[in-house]
Amino acid sequence: MPESAPPQLAVIVIGYRAPAQIVEAVTSLLDQDEPLEIMVVNSGGGEVMALLTGAGVKVPVIEVGRRLFVGAARNLGIAATKAPFVAFLADDCLACSGWAEARMQRHLAGDRAVASAMVNSHPRNLIACAAHLIMFMRRLPGLPSDRALRYGVSFDRRLFDEFGLFDETMPAAEDTEFLGRLPQELQPVWEPKVQTVHRNETRLSRLLADQYRRGCRRGDYLAASALNTPFRCFRDTFRDRRNARKLAKIGLSDRDRTFAMMSMPIVWLALLVKSVGVYIGVRNRVKAATRK
């Protein structure tokens, strides 16, 4: 592609309260071989422009003083960019080498939505290994397409014209809701060459606190279905401990797999804590609905 040609991929970096780590997230995009249209959307306060400028990083920024849910931040970025394809990167993630190029290869081959794999930031830390498996056991790079969850998706921009934008009122799972609007033939393809590093917790106390919070949010979301009782949601969440070992054996290789296996006791503990959070999230939402 000639250097004067406009970028074909826009990447919206989503930040909350201008965390220092957003500098590395943006830098990982600037280091890509593919030209990119980068837009940072930060909400909840902080001086993200000053933070980036101080690090010598100059990219367009949208700053919103109030907190935005991720769907609203996504939509602001979509509206502010022009490239025909759109991807997203959270402030606690890094784009691996080839991240943009592998996406564009699939898009230019005709795929309108492309999903990505997740890589552990600390593959030799057992706490981080456990955190990674709990959150991303179904997005490990070695998984076959029939075992992988299709998230971390980049889209043909025209899909937003055809099916609408992201729900701005949902605290979480706005991507799941959007993907649910797409017909089967437009569901994301699995491309494990597109790899995103997630910065995982490396201290047990922080891991357990994080999983409890995630569990509560997950429970609040699951409570929307009348079939999801608190105990059923607890049981189904904790049952994932069996899948963690199976999927790690398939999706990881060599030393990464060895350390993942060593982290299984921590996986079980953290999943138990997450399951308790799910139970409480469902119970609290049901109680709140009953009082209305």
237 lies in the same domain as 161: no
Is residue 30 one of the residues assigned to a domain? yes
3-state secondary structure of 83: coil
How far is residue 30's CA from residue 32's CA, in Å, rounded to a whole number? Answer: 6
Amino acid at 85: F
Note the helical H segments in 38-110.
48-54, 70-80, 99-108
Tally the domains of the chain: 2
List the domain range (segments joined by +) for residue 154. Answer: 9-126+138-198
142 lies in the same domain as 269: no
Amino acid at 162: E
Our separate counts of H helices and E strands in the chain read 12, 8
Closest to 251 in 3D by CA, of 177, 172, 146: 146
Residue 124, phi then psi, degrees to nearest 5: -110, 15
Q: What is the pLDDT of residue 287?
A: 86
Closest to 90 in 3D by CA, of 217, 200, 220: 200
181 lies in the same domain as 211: no
Amino acid at 87: A
Q: What is the pLDDT of residue 216?
A: 95
Tokens of 130: 């456990």
Q: What is the pLDDT of residue 28?
A: 99
Is residue 131 one of the residues assigned to a domain? no
Cβ atoms of 23 and 37 closer than 8 Å:
no
153 lies in the same domain as 252: no
Tokens of 79: 């509206």
3-state secondary structure of 208: helix
Is residue 80 one of the residues assigned to a domain? yes
Cβ atoms of 167 and 244 closer than 8 Å:
no
Q: What is the pLDDT of residue 2?
A: 52
How far is residue 74's CA from residue 11's CA, in Å, rounded to a whole number? Answer: 10
173 lies in the same domain as 271: no
Each of the 292 residues of the chain gets a pLDDT tens digit; together they read 555 789 999 999 999 999 999 999 999 999 999 999 999 999 999 999 999 999 999 999 999 999 999 999 999 999 999 999 999 999 999 999 999 999 999 999 999 999 999 999 999 999 999 999 999 999 999 999 999 999 999 999 999 999 999 999 998 899 999 999 999 999 999 999 999 999 999 999 999 999 999 999 999 988 877 678 999 999 999 999 999 999 999 999 999 999 999 999 999 999 999 999 999 999 998 888 777 6
126: how many CB neighbours lie within 10 A of its CB? 18
Is residue 241 one of the residues assigned to a domain? yes
How far is residue 232's CA from residue 244's CA, in Å, rounded to a whole number? Answer: 19
Tokens of 112: 């309108």
- The model carries a pTM of 0.93
